[in-house]
Amino acid sequence: MKKIFLLLAIVSITFASAQSKAIPLDQASSKDLAAAKVKEMDKMLNLTDEQEKKLIALYSDKNMMSRKPKSVKELQSKRAMVDAKLKAILTPEQFKKLTGSSSGKEKQMSEEPKERY
């Protein structure tokens, strides 16, 4: 019985501390969100400190990232602009790894609606 109580206490303390550290999306700044995105990219691409700084600046640029595109053509243009900036920041190997993994996600997302309906 003591073991169960101790286990429940540890689990509840762990969840309580994890929840207090999380920042709600509506309160997170664009720089916080950009830093989180770059942190995930760093795990995959092993970024340098300079690359991290440049990527945080790119992803926190409100003019670049905030407004949703109105058309497919605008989306393609925005994507090309971001890709060009990423190519300037990342090494060719890092860019290939990034676009290779993201294209797999896009392919999976494009197939999901077909499976749902």
In a domain? residue 56: yes
Residue 4: per-residue pLDDT: 74
In a domain? residue 15: no
Q: What is the DSSP letter of 70?
A: S
Cβ-based neighbours of 54, under 8 Å, separated by 6 or more: 89
Q: Average pLDDT per run of 10 along the chain, which is 117 residues long?
A: 70 62 60 89 93 91 69 86 92 91 51 48
Taking a C-beta distance cutoff of 8 angstroms, is the pair 18, 26 a contact? no
Q: Give this prediction's pTM.
A: 0.59
Closest CA to 82 of 95, 101, 100, 70: 95
Residue 50: per-residue pLDDT: 96
| Domain region containing 68 | 30-116
Residue 63: per-residue pLDDT: 62
The residue type found at 91 is T
Distances, alpha carbon 95 to alpha carbons 15, 16, 77, 92, in Å: 36, 38, 18, 5
In a domain? residue 1: no
From CA 40, how far away is CA 23, in angstroms rounded?
16
In a domain? residue 23: no
- The total of structural domains in the chain comes to 1
